[in-house]
Amino acid sequence: MVRPEYPTRRALGRRAGLRGAFATIAPMFSPFAPEPPYTHGQAERTAVLLCNLGTPDAPTAPAVRRYLAQFLSDRRVVEIPKLLWLPLLHGLILRTRPARSAAQYASIWSAAGSPLALWTARQAGLLRDDLDAAGHRVLVRHAMRYGNPSIASQLDALKAEGATRILILPLYPQYSATTTASVFDAVYRWAARIRRLPELRFVNRYHDHPDYIAALAHSVQTHWQQHGRPEQLVLSFHGLPERSRQLGDPYHCEVRKTARLLAERLGLGQERYRVSFQSRFGNARWLQPYTRPTVEALGQAGLRRVDLVCPGFTSDCRETLEEIDIEVRAAFLQAGGKEFHYIRCLNDSPQWITALACVARQHLAGWPTQPAAAAALAEARNHALAGGAPAGSRATGP
């Protein structure tokens, strides 16, 4: 006869202890971030995350080295195979460039920090106010693709604030794999470790949005009303390796369209403006013509006054305040030019905030942005789930 084996009290205790211990350590082995327990009837909240490129934490060589190490290790930015690129990056570039870059950052750093960081944070606050004034209760935060605050940390914060729907809005009007897609990579990486994902939407581009073009035109026209007009207006955009265009990056095409629409809006004939590309990095061939030689040639050709605007940069930063307003200005004057006017980026202009809000609202369409609307939606859902039972009766049930 086989006697059934009943576990002894001590064995049961041991097993419960093991189960308890397992329950304690299991989350440590989960690939997902811990979540608070799920409860029914949680409010739906909509959020917008403004994403910009990023900037060093300080204008010092170590801070710039940290920032550049992250930036230039991104395969979206430098497409050279890692085996060839990393020795060059760590053996040469990160040993020489940070000190030079830090001095350039120092020349444009304000008491409150990096211009790019300040403008981006301000845009987030103003966007929230604008949406709020229009009756849209939306959480708005900003994040940086490289440096701080990181995209992951801001998505964590939005989730902790209860965001269940998040619109990712890069501060790049023209799409490029090197910038826009890299922001999306960071969001996907964050999402891969989240159990209860918010709904996510992404804005790829708004290079031809009428409000964006109107904001640019307003900024140029205001400058001209105060200072008169130049002989030439240069529209300078951040450059990109020519190879990216050949491999299918639409950036160049979108830049040309922004430029055409802006010139049309300003009533400029083709002979009164030109497009150029700045901030070339390394020795490869980038999109042409390059900004500095373009402006030098205008000075050498005897032009008295050139105005320059950077329509692709939505915030002033090192690339505009130092490279353009200091270096390119000096190059023009040295080449014989007399007056160089740098027209500032959109920064916190009301027209730009209106444009951002319009882009955001178009992409938020269908998502509740008011607490009352969100609550009504949740109630309607509960009602449908309960098969018509009074709304709220399932609010806390399974």
| Of 233, 184, 267, residue with least CA distance to 340 | 233
Task: Select from Fe ion, ligand L6N33NVT, none the partner in contact with residue 356, using the beta carbon and a kind-dependent cut-off of 5 to 8 Å.
Answer: none
Residue 77 in contact with ligand L6N33NVT, rule: CB under 6 A: yes
Which x/- pattern, by CB under 6 A, does the window 335-374 give for ligand L6N33NVT?
----------------------------------------
Alpha carbons within 13 A on the beta-carbon side of 396? 0
Measured CA to CA in angstroms, residue 334 lies from 127, 329, 339 at distances of 41, 9, 11
Place of tokens 């581009």: 205
Place of tokens 């940069």: 313
| Of 385, 315, 309, residue with least CA distance to 108 | 315
Residues 6+ apart with CB under 8 A from 256: 275
**Two tokens, residue 77:** 């930015």
Question: Which of 51, 53, 158, 177 lies at the binding interface for ligand L6N33NVT (CB under 6 A)?
Answer: 53
Residue 312 in contact with ligand L6N33NVT, rule: CB under 6 A: yes
Which residues, in sequence order, are bridge partners of residue 166? 47, 200
- Our CB check for ligand L6N33NVT shows the closer of 236 and 279 to be 279
Q: Is 319 labeled as ligand-binding?
A: yes
CB under 5 A: which stretch of 28-36, 252-260, 307-315, 371-379 binds Fe ion? 252-260
Q: Is the peptide bond before 81 cis (omega within 30 degrees of 0)?
A: no
Question: End-to-end alpha-carbon separation of the chain, Å?
Answer: 47
Q: Tell me the chain's radius of gyration from C-alpha atoms.
A: 27
- Our CB check for ligand L6N33NVT shows the closer of 352 and 367 to be 352
Distance in Å, CB of 117 to ligand L6N33NVT, minimum: 8
Residue 282 in contact with Fe ion, rule: CB under 5 A: no
Distance in Å, CB of 116 to ligand L6N33NVT, minimum: 4
Cα separation, 123 vs 169, in Å, equals: 12
Q: Interface residues for ligand L6N33NVT in 224-283 (CB under 6 A)?
A: 238, 240, 251, 279, 281
Q: Is 238 labeled as ligand-binding?
A: yes
Residue 253 in contact with Fe ion, rule: CB under 5 A: yes
Residues annotated within a binding site for Fe(2+)? 238, 319
Residues that bind ligand L6N33NVT (CB under 6 A): 53, 55, 72, 77-78, 101, 114, 116, 172, 176, 178-179, 238, 240, 251, 279, 281, 312-313, 317-319
Residues that bind Fe ion (CB under 5 A): 253
